[in-house]
Chains A and B, each alone.
Chain A
Amino acid sequence: MNDLFGAVQKITPEAQCIMRGNRVKIIIPVGSVTEVADLVKRYGFNHIESVCGTDYPNNNIIELVYIVGSVKEDLKSKVIMLGSRIPRENPVFPTLTNIWPGVYFHEREEYEMLGIRFDGHPKLAKLLLPDDWDDMPPLRKEFQVKKWGAIEREDSGLKIERAVLHNPLPECTPTQSDFKKVKTPDFLYRFQAALEMPEYDTLGRKLFKWVQKDDRSIAISFGIQHPGSGHMRLVLGVDGDIITDVEPDIGYVHRGKEKMCEYKNYFQNIPQLERPTVHDSSGMLFPYVLAVEDILDISDKVPERAKYLRIIMAEFNRILNHTYWLAIMGIFTGHSTMFMWAMGDRELIIDAAQRLSGARVTFAYFVPGGVRNDAPDGWCDYVLKVCDKFESRLDKYKEIYFENPLFLDRTVGVGVLGKQDAIDLGIVGPALRASGVYSDTRKDEPYSLYDTIDFDLPVMKEGDSYARCMVSYMEMYQSLRIIRQAVSKMKPGPVRYYFRGRIRGREGEAYARTEAARGSLSYYIISDGKEKPYRVKISSPSFRNLLAGVKKLLPGHRIADVPVIHWSLNYWAVEADR
């Protein structure tokens, strides 16, 4: 890594380098960003993970960090953070979409959340915020979230006056009026007929704006109302029933998790952070607790038993997520039996997880310092029994679904994603492994004793929908294998490093990534030494996989293939919107 920093210093002598373990942060002036990014990519960092902007009103700067990983064998465990500081009043940054195409949506998100303008970005428009948003960018520090109003309960004579009213400062720059108010996809403007269409029909009803009277093309909506995964929409331009253009319209379930995190302390964040992905709730919490342990400097104090319990819980959640996904896949391909079986067999795992944590869906089991409670008596034997039962059920799935010609016809050769495309676009998880890339955070950068466990990674070369389905299916076998080993390796002992009093982190930042069920999930936490985090950036696998789903895979396919391609990527709208 030192040779890379030397080369960077040749370009800009002002470059600073901060190293902490496998994380290398290089801070450079804005002028040389494109040049340095090109160098970093040629060095081997080709897999974009996250783009995070942080507002510092006291220093009057915004720090923008590009977090880049790699799929190359020798660089897999390393993460490079390419940071630059820009003035707050007029934040302009050169776009890096031509170097890492995967930053397309990340940059759009930072644009609307912090008001940073990216020079040369193909389409700088809103992504997550509502169309009628008329306020300052929400991740600026002046923006205050609305709190509850005064609460009164007449029946009990109860009155709580802790309300803080929302009062935006008018002089803050930039205002949101700079934004493009329209989310209409560009390709629609090609159809001249649409622009000349009357707004109201003869009966005075308002016409749907995007229906075209062109002789060949029409635009239709896939979704809004729950197309299988949550509220999101794909605006499809179709010619006959062949898709020619796609524009995603997401953000219907955006809850502002990153802003909410800044108002809660490290423990209060736990229940709300697992909400975006309720069937992968522990997987969603895993990188958060790792990053917070780094911030609190207690990473080495976590007991061994707690680490194994975490592994078991995370793998439970992987199975829960994949069975849920498999059930909906059954519905999408017209196979109701698969839905019934997968949903029924989930209960086995849910019961086992519930005996451990006390909840059925949102377990809230991980805390910084370990896990919340030890396993009850006889739980380990119960888990081994559940694993055997579930494995016998998994074999049956193959007979009825994965070897079924009705399923093969729908998926084989549909939505092929090439290996190089998958890396360039920053695809993660089963979708990346189905395209022939041997990459998994559990293997690349083993965390939480995953290195003591022997398991294989299912990797396929085809890259089509069938390969993605098979990789997820084979992963469930590996999860069972991991659970069995972890149960046998657990020794009695403490399960939590407990600390009393007010919890304050060190001043600094932490970046942790784990392999959640849908792919690599990472948290970037910046602390200013107070009880609450200064900035939390969540980079979720669904958000990173969206680009492939819409831009690369869909054009050229028929409308009937959309559900299969969309769902084989395992896109979960709530996780992507956060």
Chain B
Amino acid sequence: MEVEVSLVKPVKILAAVKSGLRHLFYSRVTRRYPEVESGLPESYYSFDPKKGVATAGWRGRHYLELDKCTGCQLCSFMCDEISNAIVMVELPDIKFEQNKKSLFPSVDYGRCVFCGLCVDACPFECLHMTPEIRLADYDRNRLYYSPLELSRPPSVGKPSYVVGKKREVAKT
């Protein structure tokens, strides 16, 4: 019985192996996250209602400017059918001239899908999204951010939550 011996297959397999072996001398593709940051630009995603165009930026945690918010609830109406994450709450201690009822949005990050359409809905440019993306927590209740927490400037590039430190939940 004659056995056909063909060298085509072994040669091609060796060529594939050679192509793979060459990668031993390449630099690393993976990033040592979170020690090494992504290196992407750190800008806010915010919306200009006059022009009707947003500026490019990360869509992480929200940043709320309390002194601009009028409590018009448009962000909440937009979110109702998307993920129901934004709920208007009353902060009686905080009085602003433009917000007589002291209604401010609060965000539940257990539900938020980070689409950013609430930012597009805000006609007063007071809601933004920030590069703070590490929002994971050990307690579900702490994913609920009160307006006071949202109004803190984000700690860009640093973990937002340090293990062992409890975040105070604002009583409303």
Q: Which residues of A contact B (CB under 8 A)?
A: 148, 151, 153, 155-158, 160, 162, 263-265, 267-268, 270-272, 337, 344-345, 347, 351, 354-359, 362, 364, 367, 372-376, 379, 396, 399-401, 403-406, 494-498
Contacts and interface: CB of A to CB of B under 8 A. Distances in A.
Contacts of A400: 16, 19-20
Given A153-B141, A400-B16, A496 B52 contact: yes
The 10 lowest CB-CB distance pairs between A and B, nearest first, are A498-B52, A271-B115, A373-B54, A358-B59, A399-B19, A264-B81, A405-B9, A344-B29, A376-B56, A364-B115
Given A155-B141, A158-B172, A373-B55, A351 B82 contact: no
A271 B117 contact: yes
A553 to B, nearest CB: 26
B51 A372 contact: no
B41 interface: yes
Given A355-B40, A373-B56, A405 B13 contact: yes
B12 A268 contact: no
Contact of A404 (B16, B38, B45, B81): B16
Contact of A358 (B15, B56, B113): B56
Interface of B: 8-9, 12-13, 15-16, 19-20, 29-30, 38, 40-41, 43, 45, 51-59, 78, 80-84, 87, 89, 106, 113-117, 120, 129, 141, 144, 146, 169-172
Contacts of A404: 12-13, 16
Contact of B40 (A153, A354, A399): A354
Nearest to A497: B52
A87 B25 CA distance: 71
A263 B81 contact: yes
Contacts of B55: 373-374, 376
Given A157-B172, A270-B115, A376 B81 contact: no
B104 to A, nearest CB: 13
Contacts of B57: 358
Contacts of A362: 113-115
Contacts of B9: 405
B53 A374 contact: yes
Contacts of A272: 82
B53 A399 contact: no
Contacts of A406: 13, 16
Contacts of B19: 396, 399-400
Nearest to B52: A498
B58 A156 contact: no
Contacts of B53: 372-374, 494-496, 498
A358 B45 contact: yes
A101 B40 CA distance: 50
Given A153-B141, A271-B113, A358-B129, A399 B82 contact: no
Given A374-B55, A498-B53, 13 more contacts: A155-B141, A156-B172, A265-B81, A270-B117, A344-B30, A354-B40, A359-B59, A362-B115, A364-B116, A373-B54, A379-B56, A403-B12, A495-B53
